[in-house]
């Protein structure tokens, strides 16, 4: 895997959806892809921050972004179908999806989680990725180099105390990614990756490790080469779908 030798010109006019785009890794992705000429579809519940990003992108890069306000905790099939229709209305096809949105809420033993919080974390981190995949995969079929990127975590492979529904949701993401790889590899040119960014300066990391010095961690911008490689044609011949930051 060579994450440096990427032809940046290939991103021009590509249409890429990013969930959880208002801060952290998602925000860095929005800005980087817009710099390279991609039309970014912003999906978040934070309309104010999306509006600010939208205005910044239009003024500085002149691409054609689109805003989709959506709380993934309440995403259902009707809303997912509406999202698909909006994307089709604005763009000829969808070239990529980055499932970046995730929540942790708190660190607690199992007895400390109420059902509402448990379901919220599973909905945002896992169920929403299933529903959006179901209705957006058909939009990827007309792309020359379609991509789906899920976001996983080391905790998904070896669950630990106090990680509760977050660990369960990320283990589910691993399974969902593997299932889609198996279902699509013989019938579609959609390339699927499951990316573990490891320790990064994000709000979620600060909740999980409050005593940690954030300056000792890499920044979201340090991950961009990985995402660009996964979204680029250069990754088409890569075997396997699990990628982690090294």
The residues carrying an active-site annotation are 166
DSSP bridge partners of 18? 42, 98
How far is the C-alpha of 117 from the C-alpha of 173, rounded, in Å? 18
Beginning with the edge strand found earlier in the chain, give each strand of the sheet holding 15-19 in spatial order. Answer: 66-69, 39-44, 15-19, 96-98, 147-151, 191-196, 242-244
139 and 87 Cβ atoms separated by less than 8 Å: yes
Q: CA 115 → CA 49, 92, 110, 126, 192, distances in Å?
A: 30, 41, 10, 16, 32
Cα separation, 228 vs 208, in Å, equals: 27
- What distance in Å separates the CA atoms of residue 141 and residue 157, rounded to the nearest whole number? 31
First to last CA, the chain: 11
């Amino acid at each position: 895997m060579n994450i440096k030798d990427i032809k940046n010109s290939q991103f021009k006019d590509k249409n890429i959806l990013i969930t959880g785009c208002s801060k952290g890794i998602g925000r860095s992705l929005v800005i980087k892809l817009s710099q390279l000429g991609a039309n970014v579809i912003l999906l978040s519940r934070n309309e104010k921050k999306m509006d600010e990003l939208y205005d910044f992108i239009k003024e500085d890069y002149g691409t054609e972004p689109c805003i989709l306000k959506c709380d993934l905790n309440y995403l259902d099939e009707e809303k997912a179908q509406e999202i698909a229709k909006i994307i089709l209305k604005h763009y000829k096809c969808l070239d990529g999806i980055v499932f970046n949105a995730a929540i942790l809420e708190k660190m607690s033993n199992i007895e400390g989680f109420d059902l509402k919080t448990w379901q919220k974390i599973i909905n945002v981190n896992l169920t929403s990725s299933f529903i959006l995949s179901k209705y957006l995969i058909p939009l990827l079929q007309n792309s020359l180099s379609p991509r789906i990127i899920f976001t996983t975590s080391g905790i998904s492979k070896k669950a630990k105390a106090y990680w509760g529904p977050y660990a369960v949701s990320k283990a589910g993401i691993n399974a969902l990614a593997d299932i889609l790889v198996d279902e699509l590899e013989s019938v579609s040119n959609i390339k699927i990756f499951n990316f573990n960014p490891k320790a990064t300066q994000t709000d979620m990391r600060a909740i999980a490790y409050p005593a940690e010095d954030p300056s000792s961690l890499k920044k979201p911008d340090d991950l961009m080469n990985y995402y660009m490689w996964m979204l680029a044609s250069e990754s088409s011949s890569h075997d396997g779908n699990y990628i982690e930051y090294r």
